Amino acid sequence: PVQRSFVLLKPDAVRRGLVGSVLSRFEAKGLSIVALQLRQVDGELSDQHYAEHVERDFYPPLREFITSGPSIAMIVEGDEAIEVVRALNGATDGRKAAPGTIRGDLSLSNRENLVHGSDSPESAAREIALWFPEHS
């Protein structure tokens, strides 16, 4: 089925000048960009987006990182978009992600891993409502 996924190109992607390269991979795969916005994430939005992680040990530095500069927030659409985006992104830890994936090719970090994609239809609906209320 056609799905929508929320995708965030994190501050490391913007800082490293990799926005075009990463976007190209989604476009080349055949996904459509439905919405896109440059966004400076603040602490409150980080806490809402990462609500399931706020109590974790890794969260404070993640919050620091995600608020450290502008990100690109977007909605992508296509057949099985949620699973397809996750496959393109690769495993969370860039050091372990398979070559050929965004993280596997371009990241050497478990935190600064360039990209976030919704992990389920429920997460996609929640994240789209949070980041792009006009699209939910």
Tell whether 65 is in a known binding site. no
- Report how far residue 77's alpha carbon sits from residue 48's, in angstroms, rounded to the nearest whole number: 23
Of 102, 113, 128, 131, which one interacts with ligand CMP (CB under 6 A)? 113
Cα–Cα distance measured from residue 7 to residue 75, given in angstroms and rounded to the nearest whole number: 6
**Degrees, nearest 5: CA angle 89-94-98:** 65
Q: Residue 16, annotated ligand binder?
A: no
Q: 76 to 105, contacts with ligand CMP by CB under 6 A?
A: 92
Is residue 49 annotated as a catalytic residue, yes or no?
Answer: no
**Are 120 and 70 in contact, with CB atoms under 8 Å apart?**
no
Site for ligand CMP contains 123 (CB under 6 A): no
Residues making contact with ligand CMP (CB under 6 A) = 53, 58, 62, 92, 110-111, 113, 116
